[in-house]
Structures are given as C-alpha cells and as structure tokens.
C-alpha cells in the first residue's frame, strides 16, 4: 500500500504517527511510505532518519494522498480536502464527536479511531489511550514539581528537617497510577481516590493510600465496577460523599493531580472553588481533564493560573510535551493495529469478525458506523 505520514497541524501537537523504527518495518513489509518533510521534526525525528529507514520525503499533498494515511489527531477540513475518497485513515479521531465523524464519512474515508479499542488483553499492545495516558501521568508530576515552591521528599539537614510533600491523585486509571508511582519515587506521601473498588489494590501496590468512600447500596457497587476498564458515572449520593471526603484531603494536600474522565462525557467536577480557597497557599493542582471541561471549574485550558494562592495547571495534551517517547509508543500502537487489517500480501483486508477492528471502525462508504 501507499502509506502517507503527514505532519500534524493542530496547534501544540508535536507528535508524529510513525517513527523511523516503524517506517522501516512498513517498508520491509513491502509498503511504499511517504513522509511529509518535517513531520517528525518537533518529536526530534529528522527527515534524514526517515530516508535511512526507506521512506520517501514528500509534501503534504502527497502524504495526505496515500491509500493509507496515519495520523495522530483527526484531519481538519483542509486536510480532508486533500485526501482521496476510499482512503484508509488511522488516528485518534475522537469517536464521541458526531460532527467530526460525519466530516470523515463525507470525505469518503474508511476511518479507524484507535482510542475506541476495547480494554482487553489482546488489545493492550495497540491501546493508544493507555500508552499516552501513562506519559501524561508522569509529566503531570513533573509539572507539579515545577510550580510547587518546595521539594517532594523529606530531607534532614543541619538546618532542620523538611517535610515530604503530600500528594492527592484523583482517578487511579493509567494516568493516575503513573502519577502515583512517579510522586512516590520522588519521595512524596501519596493518597488516591477512584470510584472503582479494584483500584485500591493497584494504588496500595504502588505505595499510595487509598481514599475509601464506602458504598451504601448494591447499585453503587455495581456501577463502580465500570465497563470494559472504564469508569461509569456514579449516583449523586455517592458523589456527594466522595466530594466531602476529597475536599478534606485536598485541603491538607500540597499537590493535587486530577485524572478523572468518563468516555464521551464532560469531565466530572471533583474540586469545587470553595475547596481551592481552603487549600494551603502555594499548593498546586494539575488538571489532566482540562480538555473535557476539567475536574476543577477554575482550571483554564492551556494556561497556568493562580486562584486564592493555589496554582492551577491547565496545560493540555501533556504527551505532546514528551513528543519523542510519546510518538515512539503511539507509532508502535499503530503498527500493531495495522497487523489486524493488512493481510500477509500487504493488502488492506480487515476481518469482519474482529472485535477490535469493529470497535475502532467509525465510518466506511460514506456512512458513520458509530453512535457517539
């Protein structure tokens, strides 16, 4: 197949959908790979490395005009105009945005939204949400150290003892667990909260303390189990109890990192403005859910602001701040997905009965196949 790797055009998007490592494997499999000049520059993958891997350097028109186009983010209108009807598109396409899916279908594309892959053992190697969230959780802690005016570990000096920072992590999914592990490695005392009871064991295995919100009904416990590895919206009564408990922990914390997201829904509000006002001066909140409305209503997308002496970090797309590693992981995810839809002869031949392929297929033959 003719495979195109265009440069990402979304402001702040520094990742690239293929690296020289994965391009080399595509070329060895018999594909013709065309990489837009400068596509990997922001991720520190120079054009010369792509050429050494066997790719042909091209302009945007050529890269977008491939039979198979690999992207990180969904193409905008100008990119869609340059893509061929019938082409195959892979990327993080936001499957919960109906208007965006209609635009892809209107362009005549067969499109796969990789973030729609099920959370199953077989899909782990191509789980783009996990690979990118892992890095986001790590970077969130480093950002907290940047804006926090003290150190994380306890330190005993001749001039006295410095206490360890207290970190609260809200949401113990992939990003949250990585944040816990990173904060613990830096010497912080860490507490974490999550709606799913199974998260307790994972939090404690990383050295964190689980903030336990008891379930009062069987319905609450059933909902808390989640579906397919994802959290579900909890009943109002449980949310109220969690909010009260979390507010008390946040008031005692030096750092709060929020990661709570429910697919296809606005981010739940976990930290109210009055809680922020009661936090210690110099505290830091890093809101990883800011692109979906934020877990704190005071967070501002793309900005670092101060409210009542508390610094709120609302920087979006944290994996793009680690573009080299984020691209490497993402490109391997893409390569593993391609193994499902390209046959031994190198032809596009998606199986009709594959649960991963069907979950990711969002449009085909001008039709949207997914209900957002």
Q: Which of 7, 50, 74, 127 is catalytic?
A: 127
Q: Which of 124, 146, 205, 252 is catalytic?
A: 124
DSSP state string for 222-280: HHHT-BTTB--PPPHHHHHHHHHHHHHHHHH-SEEEE----TTSPPPP-S-HHHHHHSP
Active site residue 78: no
CA distance 214 to 197: 10
Distances in Å between the alpha carbon of 141 and those of 147, 168, 180, 307, 332?
10, 11, 9, 20, 25
Active site residue 119: yes
Distances in Å between the alpha carbon of 97 and those of 13, 74, 92, 368, 372?
19, 11, 12, 11, 6
> Tokens 């790719």 appear where?
55
CA distance 171 to 192: 7
Q: Which of 230, 232, 336, 354 is catalytic?
A: 230
Secondary-structure percent of the chain, ordered helix, strand, coil, rounded to 5: 40, 20, 40
Q: Which of 37, 119, 232, 307 is catalytic?
A: 119
Name the token pair of 213.
Answer: 């919100």
Instruction: Tell the burial category of 170 from Cβ atoms under 10 Å away from its Cβ (0-12, 13-18, 19+).
Output: buried
Residue 168 bridge partners (DSSP): 191, 256
Catalytic residues, by residue number, are 119, 124, 127, 130, 230
């Amino acid at each position: 197949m003719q495979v195109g790797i265009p440069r990402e055009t979304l402001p702040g998007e520094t990742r690239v959908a293929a690296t020289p490592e994965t391009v080399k494997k595509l070329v060895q499999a018999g594909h013709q790979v065309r990489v837009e000049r400068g596509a990997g520059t922001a991720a520190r993958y120079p054009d010369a490395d792509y050429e050494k891997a066997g790719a042909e350097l091209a302009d945007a028109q050529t890269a977008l005009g491939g039979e198979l186009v690999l992207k990180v983010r969904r193409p905008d209108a100008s990119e869609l105009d340059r893509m061929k009807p019938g082409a195959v598109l892979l990327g993080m396409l936001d499957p919960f945005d109906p208007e965006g899916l209609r635009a892809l279908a209107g362009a005549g594309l067969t499109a796969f939204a990789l973030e729609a892959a099920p959370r199953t053992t077989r899909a782990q190697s191509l789980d783009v949400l996990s690979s990118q969230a892992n890095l986001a959780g790590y970077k969130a802690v480093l950002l907290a150290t940047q804006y926090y005016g003290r150190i994380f570990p306890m330190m005993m000096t001749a001039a006295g003892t410095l206490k360890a920072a207290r970190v609260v992590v809200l949401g113990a999914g992939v990003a949250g667990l990585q944040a816990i592990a990173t904060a613990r490695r830096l010497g912080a005392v860490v507490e974490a909260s999550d709606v799913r009871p199974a998260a307790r064991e994972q939090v404690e295995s990383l050295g964190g303390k689980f903030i336990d919100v008891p379930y009062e009904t069987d319905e609450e416990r059933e909902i808390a189990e989640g579906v397919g590895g994802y959290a579900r919206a909890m009943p109002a009564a449980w949310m109220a109890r969690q909010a009260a408990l979390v507010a008390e922990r946040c008031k005692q914390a030096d750092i709060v990192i929020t990661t709570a997201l429910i697919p296809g829904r606005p981010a739940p509000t976990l930290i109210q403005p009055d809680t922020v006002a009661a936090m210690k001066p110099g505290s830091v909140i890093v809101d990883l859910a800011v692109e979906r409305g934020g877990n704190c209503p005071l967070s501002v997308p793309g900005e670092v602001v101060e409210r009542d002496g508390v610094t709120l970090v609302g920087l979006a797309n944290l994996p793009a701040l680690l573009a080299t590693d984020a691209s490497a992981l993402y490109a391997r995810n893409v390569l593993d997905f391609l193994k499902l839809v390209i046959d031994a002869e190198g032809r596009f031949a998606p199986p009709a009965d594959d649960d991963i392929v069907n979950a990711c297929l969002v449009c085909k033959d001008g039709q949207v196949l997914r209900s957002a």
